[in-house]
């Protein structure tokens, strides 16, 4: 009896995922098969073209991964990895999975950090989750120091794991709430960056991957979704030196309300920035 091939397994995966309503069945099939087979997406596609065989153990593992994705469990939970600006962050239940949108948001923080004139600029990531923003800053601005703040015990496990891998001794991890964090750094920080929870309490996300698997503490923030932003604004104003920069990720309809919050707290040079799809996604402001 001949063994199944990569092509047959890939075709099966695409069909199952498409029937389950997964938005990108081909991409996800390639990622899951690549995870099981130890291949890149391109290698999976290449092996499918030449009918490479797959052993029984690999078929079992691939089938399990496909079935999990068909329940709309995120690919990143199944593989345990979330790619982010060249990093491979460990993720799983209890931590928000970083999205591609945040990769463009963090560029504003990187640019601000690179513009700091002194030799060892200091950045703070409030509500760090997986550590995506903090670690991108540390890796891409290697002369910086970074503090990552997280207050969820479940998420903190993942933050710790990723900081140990990528922090290079320059990322300090603090377990604290973003409203009260780091009083010892008041007036000393160059850049504060955050992707806080910003979904209104009653606005349940449509995507099952978000609704069923992302932790509620990383999604919802009061009736209008801005409770965390209000606390973040006050903390950032306290932490930043004069001329320091705040970078916030937010929902596409929240820019005006966030600008009002920041203006009331004494920020200036408030600007909204679109993501790659043209949706308002980030706001920057100067202390």
Q: Averaged over 156-167, what is the pLDDT? A: 96
Q: CA–CA separation, 280 vs 248, rounded Å? A: 11
Tokens of residue 4, six digits: 């199944």
| CATH code of the region 92-286 | 3.40.50.150
pLDDT at res. 1: 43
Nearest to 158 by CA among 136, 128, 188, 134: 128
Q: Which residue, chain included where needed, has tokens 């601000």?
A: 112
> What are the tens digits of pLDDT across the range 229-252?
999 999 999 999 999 999 999 999
Averaged confidence pLDDT in the chain: 94
Q: How wide is the angle at C-alpha 270 spanned by C-alphas 264 and 275, nearest 5°? A: 130
pLDDT tens digits, one per residue of 39-48: 999 999 999 9
**Residues 184-196: what's their mean pLDDT?**
98
Residue 171 has pLDDT above 50, yes or no: yes
Q: Is the pLDDT at 3 greater than 70, yes or no?
A: no
Per-residue pLDDT, 276: 86
Question: Could you read off the pLDDT of 53-75 as tens digits, one per residue?
Answer: 898 899 999 999 999 999 999 99
Answer yes or no: is pLDDT of 192 > 90: yes
**Contact 36/80 with Cβ under 8 angstroms?**
no
168 Rama class: left (phi>0) / alpha (psi -120 to 50) / beta: left
């Amino acid at each position: 009896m001949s063994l199944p091939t990569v092509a047959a397994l890939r075709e099966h995966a695409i069909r199952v995922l498409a029937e389950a309503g997964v938005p990108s069945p081909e991409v996800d099939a390639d990622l899951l098969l690549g995870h099981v087979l130890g291949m890149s997406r391109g290698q999976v596609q290449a092996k499918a073209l030449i009918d490479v065989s797959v052993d029984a153990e690999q078929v079992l593992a691939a089938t399990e991964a496909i079935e999990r994705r068909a329940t709309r469990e995120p690919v990143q939970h199944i593989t345990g990895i979330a790619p982010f600006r060249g990093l491979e962050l460990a993720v799983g239940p209890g931590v928000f999975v970083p999205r591609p949108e945040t990769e463009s948001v963090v560029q504003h923080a990187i640019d601000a950090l690179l513009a700091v004139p002194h030799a060892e600029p200091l950045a703070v990531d409030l509500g760090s989750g997986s550590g995506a923003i903090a670690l991108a800053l540390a890796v891409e601005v290697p002369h910086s120091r970074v503090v990552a703040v997280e207050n969820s015990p479940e998420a903190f496990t993942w933050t710790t794991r990723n900081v140990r891998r990528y922090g290079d001794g320059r990322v300090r991890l603090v377990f604290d709430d973003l409203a009260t964090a780091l009083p010892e750094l008041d007036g000393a920080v160059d850049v504060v960056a955050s992707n806080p929870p910003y979904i209104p309490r009653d606005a349940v996300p449509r995507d099952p991957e978000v609704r069923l698997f992302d932790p509620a503490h990383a999604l919802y923030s009061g009736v209008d979704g801005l409770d965390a932003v209000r606390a973040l604004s006050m903390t950032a104003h306290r932490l930043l030196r004069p001329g320091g920069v705040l970078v916030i990720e937010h929902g596409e309809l929240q820019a005006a309300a966030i600008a009002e919050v920041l203006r009331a707290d004494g920020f200036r040079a408030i600007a909204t920035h679109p993501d790659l799809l043209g949706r308002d996604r980030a706001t920057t402001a100067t202390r």
